[in-house]
Structure 1
Amino acid sequence: MKRSLLLPLALFAASPALAQDLQQRVEAGFAAAATGTRFGLVVADADGKEVVAVNPEGRFLPASNTKMFTTAAAYASLAGLDQPDRSGGAAVRIEGGDVILEGHGDARLSSAGDCKADCLAELADVVAAKTRRVRNVIGDDSAFPDQRWSPGMSWNNIPSRSGTGISALTLDDNELVVEVTPGAVGAPPKVVLPLAYYRVDNRAVSVAGAENKLGYERDINGLVLRVTGTIGVDAKPEPLRVGIDDPAHYAAWRFKELLAARGVKVSGQVSARHRALTPADDPDVRKGAPAARAPAQEALARLTPPPLAEDMVTINKVSQNLHAELLLRRVGLRQGGGSIADGVAEVRAMLDAAGVPRTAWDLSDGSGMSSYNRVAPRGAAKMLRWIAGQPWGEAWRASLPIGGVDGTLARRFKGTTLEGKLFAKTGTLNATNALSGYLIAKSGKTLTFSAFANDVPADASATRFLDAALVLVAEAN
């Protein structure tokens, strides 16, 4: 058993079972956490009978637990998720001498040299076989309205990979990797950006020792990356993963590079084509289907990405923010125009079908980065029980991390009764921890649970208290 769980488990089990029931023991364990921490927990059996309920109707910031709503809504509303994603792949066409690279919401398009599937190079090969000269290269992400960041996302996340821009034309996870290698004491470190989309302003300094205190800054929509802080001369090279504010522009820039490598001369500029967000992108405003858009010209070529179901494993197992946001917008295309509001409308339809009260949730994005999101444990647990009864419920559950085995739970629950027997989505954000899913109790029966900790003090952790409570529940049932 992990050392970090020993103290919380001791606290949860401190009082004799005869003196306190399971509910009281769980509450006593939570009371031992850092002052000010607010907990919510519901554990229920297959019939919906609650085994434990701590602040069940409280509204909590769910962090990446939001992703389980997004992926479940995709299963509930989209067909053919286990088939190649023929509607999502990027396409290319030539229009009046310009090359138009179109995105349709695929999250996995890659320009990597070792790309094996869903490769931008394939589209570059097609253009190079068609012509040796083009004018402008335009990245078109108008399949979705221009909502690169969700309402309620912290501005300081924008330069990072966690807050990278969202675009129907996404390439390389909309991030770039910068490698920083220390130099001599007092000298700047070596900063290498393999793809020179940004200009590097190196303000970092090499210092004695092996400690790394590197940082980076970038103005919104700016193309200058300032590397700051210090790196010890004995430190290993440090990769910095930075976000991209205009992914459609980056994709067009990268496509130009690939065309040039194939001998295609580009005489014009690189630019992006966006579709402005309007009131009609809110289904509550437009009250019906969106206005029909003019059909695009026939594509010269179009990629077919792998099945969306495979990407949902990535979204839930490793908690991939960008892919979750793109999936919400893909869901929003079913009856809308691909806006966040259209996607949330599909989530609401699913929650209505599951019988989850409207007061139990508010969602403003698909990934959990928004500080506007709120979820009640009882509502989340009810959704999870409903999912378990759906034809796709088993496939969805298989996308969740497994305690002590893989994904974001690989290091949690090891050596406990829940190792290999807990299947749940994690969530971590400022002062927030969350975990919701299914567990197999000591008796062999499956329980549904949703657990949250909010307002966690900066120097404290609530994760171990949530984990200890779930272990206690599993051992008592």
Structure 2
Amino acid sequence: MMGSLLLPLLLAGAPVEAPLPPAVAEALAKAPPGTRIGLVVVDPEGREIVALRPDERFIPASNTKLFTTAAAFATLDVASPDMRGGATVRLEGQGTPTVILAGHGDARLSSAPDCRVDCLGELAAAVARRTGVVGDVVGDDTAFPDERWPQGMSWNNMDGAYGTGISALTLDDNVATLTVTPATPGAPPRVVGDGYYRIGNAATTGEAGSAKTLSVERMPGSDLLRLTGSLAVGATPVVLKLGVDDPAHRAAWRFTQLLRAAGVTVRGRITVRHRPLSEADDPVRRGGVPVATAAPVPVLASLTPPPLAEDLHQTNKTSQNLHAELLLRRLGASGSVADGHAVVDAVLARAGIARVTYDFADGAGMSNYNRVTPRTTVALLRWAETQPWGAGWRATFPVAATDGTLARRFVGTPLAGRLTAKTGTLNAANALAGTMIAASGRTLTFAAYANDMPGDASATPAIDAALVAIAAAN
């Protein structure tokens, strides 16, 4: 077993760079011109086989999720039913009561018609059993401060599923779905949504075989979707997944629909309760004073989601941004990003990782402010091997040519099914870090980062080819 005392030595005592084997240098030379690549590969004894820019800091993209999910495994009870995160409903006031739908960080609450577990419909049924008439319906996400998007995230990502708003009251992944079906040539395509967004349809149906140029845009803060471009007649309908600016409002809006479907008359408005970010949400500004715990509020009904381990599996396998951000907020007492990062820092300190080797502005990797060195990621991976939760954490990583975000990579190579790693893709950034079984049968640990590709070209083929070459030579 490798103890944590070895890790500072790994970071500080290893050579600055190790010579690149010719086959590896040849593979990396095919990356787009100007690409900056960092690569560290370590054998089971901790010796570095490859060390290219090992201590330079790179944008890690979704490799950020490695650090968030490791902290979750290290500090949260991920194996038991989620007793803390489930949504609740309560009634306030006499006569015609106000309905308060409150979230507490659960990422999996569903309003799908075929929902079987963690279903919003159960809370609507509970209200219907108590009363047939209600006033306002309030979406309450005050369990977390209002930090809906991370610092450093590109604003143009906000209108899509990858950049949807983050809220303690999350429903259906905070995504609205729109289906666009071609009509007759020259006519606008048919657009079907759920009614949450207004639709401005300026798109057309093109001739058979014409190129698809359909696009949808929504300015931040607006409820108007603008469709432009063309979709060929006879083409497969296009399903668009759209981000939501105010998830608590959308959840309350959808809950209102379910209440009415359950026979409840809703006489009031759909409103929200948010909690502004304050000094109490920052562990530095509050000087280490513990966060005061509010007295429990009596509820009419509550949900208990499945264990967080299931969600962690989805988060890393599919690189689910929203779920990773909610995990970060659940790490700390206040539900703030700063408190979550304080927990990540504490876990990495236990791993012997120096604070100067990384910076994180979010939990998922959408922020361009994130930075990490290849050696730091390798150190985390190797330290986790010594932890009781390490095997469970590694089992959440995608497997080459098999599943998740690696299902289509390394197909037909010796690393198919023999490389387990977390991917990462962002503007001018590619990442891959994990373990691979080399030709010798030994397990190598690696972290590969590419930044600064011109025109947002991909360096993924070059990284993959380099790893195949390393595995073949070892």
- Give the shorter-chain TM-score range: over 0.9
For structure 1, the 5+ residue unaligned runs are 1-19
1:206 shift after superposition: 1.5
Pair 1:275 & 2:272 matched? no
Q: Does the C-alpha gap of structure 1 residues 39 and 21 become closer, same or farther in structure 2, counting only changes over 3 Å?
A: closer
* Structure 2 Cα separation of the partners of residues 261 and 382 of structure 1: 53
Rounded Cα–Cα distance in structure 2 between residues aligned with 1:122 and 1:268: 21
Q: Tell me the equivalent position of 2:195.
A: 196
Deviation at 1:433, TM superposition (A): 0.8
| Map of 1:42 onto structure 2 | 40
Q: CA deviation at 1:291?
A: 4.0
Q: 2:374 aligns with which of 369, 374, 377?
A: 377
Note if 1:75 corresponds to 2:73. yes
Q: Deviations over 1:73-119 (max 9, x none)?
A: 1011112x111111110000001110100100000000000001000
Residue 468 (structure 1) aligns with: 465
For residue 393 of structure 1, the aligned residue among 390, 394, 399 is 390
TM-score, normalised relative to structure 2? 0.93
Partner of 1:59: 57
Aligned to 1:297: 297
Q: State the match for 2:108 in structure 1.
A: 108
Superposed displacement of residue 218, structure 1? 1.7
Cα distance per residue 1:155-190 (max 9 Å; x no partner):
000111111000000000000110111122221111
Report SS of the residue matched to 2:284.
helix
Q: Given residue 400 of structure 1, which amino acid in structure 2 is its aligned partner? A: F
Separation (CA, whole Å) in 1 of partners of 2:424 and 2:318: 11
Contact 1:42 1:449 in 2 (8 A): yes
Counterpart mapping for 1:395-414 below 5 A: 395-414=392-411
2:289 is the counterpart of 1:285: no
What is the SS of the residue equivalent to 2:455? coil
Cross-structure match for 1:117: 117
Change (3 A) 1:286 1:47: farther
Shift of residue 144 of structure 1? 0.3
| Deviation of the 1:24 alpha carbon | 4.5
After TM superposition, list the pairs within 5 Å mapping 1:354-365 onto structure 2: 354-365=351-362
- Give the Cα separation in 1 of the matches to 2:352 and 2:363: 20
Residue 85 in structure 1 maps to residue 82 in structure 2:
yes
In the TM superposition, residue 297 of structure 1 has moved relative to its aligned partner by 2.3
Cα deviation, residue 71, structure 1: 0.4
Q: Pick which of 259-268 and 227-236 moved more.
A: 227-236
Aligned counterparts of 2:331 and 2:271: Cα–Cα separation in 1: 27
Aligned CA distance change for structure 1 residues 304 and 371 (closer, same or farther; 3 Å):
same
Is the contact between residue 290 and residue 337 of structure 1 (CA under 8 Å) also seen in structure 2? no
Q: Is the 8 A contact 1:211 1:235 kept in 2?
A: no
* Distance (whole Å) between structure 1 residues aligned to residue 312 and residue 291 of structure 2: 30
Match for residue 430 of structure 2? 433
State the distance in 1 between where 2:420 and 2:389 align. Answer: 16
- Whether contact under 8 Å (1:252, 1:271) holds in the other structure is yes
Distance 1:297 1:337 in 2: 17
- The secondary structure found in structure 1 opposite 2:91 is strand
Count residues in correspondence: 453
> Aligned-residue CA RMSD in angstroms?
1.4
Partners of 1:410 and 1:186 in 2: CA distance: 39
Residues 1:255 and 2:260 aligned together: no
Q: Tell me which residue corresponds to 2:29.
A: 31
Matched-pair contact (CA < 8 Å) for 2:107–2:323: yes
Quote the offset at 1:21 in angstroms: 6.8
Counterpart selection for 2:335 from 327, 333, 338: 338
Structure 2 Cα separation of the partners of residues 259 and 29 of structure 1 = 59
Q: Secondary structure at the match of 1:284?
A: coil
- 3-state SS, counterpart of residue 35 of structure 1: coil
What do the CA deviations read for 1:350-403 (whole angstroms, capped 9, x no partner)?
Answer: 111111121211100011000000110011101110011110000000000001
Please state whether the residue corresponding to 1:151 is helix, strand or coil: coil
| Gap change, CA 1:287 and 1:213, over 3 Å in 2 | same
What are the Cα deviations for residues 390-417 of structure 1, in whole angstroms up to 9, with x where unaligned? 1000000000000111111111112211
Could you tell me which amino acid in structure 1 is paired with residue 361 of structure 2? S
Whether the aligned pair in 2 keeps the contact of 1:158 and 1:243 (CA below 8 Å) is: yes
- Maintained 8 Å contact 2:19/2:51: no
Rounded Cα–Cα distance in structure 1 between residues aligned with 2:171 and 2:304: 15
Runs of 4+ in 1 over 3 A off after TM superposition: 20-25
* 1:346 aligned partner, one-letter code: V
Alignment partner, residue 3 of structure 1: none
| SS of residue in 2 equivalent to 1:337 | coil
Q: Tell me by how many angstroms 1:256 deviates.
A: 0.6
Q: Partners in 1 of 2:456 and 2:371 — Cα distance? A: 24
Question: Within 1, Cα distance between the matches of 2:104 and 2:254?
Answer: 17
Shift, 1:26, TM fit: 2.1
Q: Is residue 29–residue 462 contact of structure 2 (8 Å, CA) maintained in 1?
A: no
Determine the structure 1 residue equivalent to 2:180. Answer: 180
| Secondary structure, counterpart of 2:226 in structure 1 | strand
Specify the code of the residue in structure 1 equivalent to 2:284: D
Aligned partners of 1:367 and 1:389: how far apart in 2? 24
Query: Does the residue aligned with 1:450 lie in a helix, a strand or coil?
Result: strand
Following superposition, the deviation at residue 214 of structure 1 comes to: 1.3
Take 1:144 and 1:132, find their aligned partners in 2: how far apart are those partners? 31
Instruction: State the alpha-carbon separation in 1 of the partners of residues 196 and 415 from structure 2.
Output: 46
Secondary structure at the aligned position of 2:250 is classed as helix
State the SS of the aligned residue for 2:108: coil
SS at match of 2:239: strand
Tell me, in whole angstroms, the C-alpha distance in 2 between the residues paired with 1:467 and 1:441.
14
Task: Measure the CA separation in 2 of the matches of 1:217 and 1:315.
Answer: 26
SS in 1 for 2:219: coil
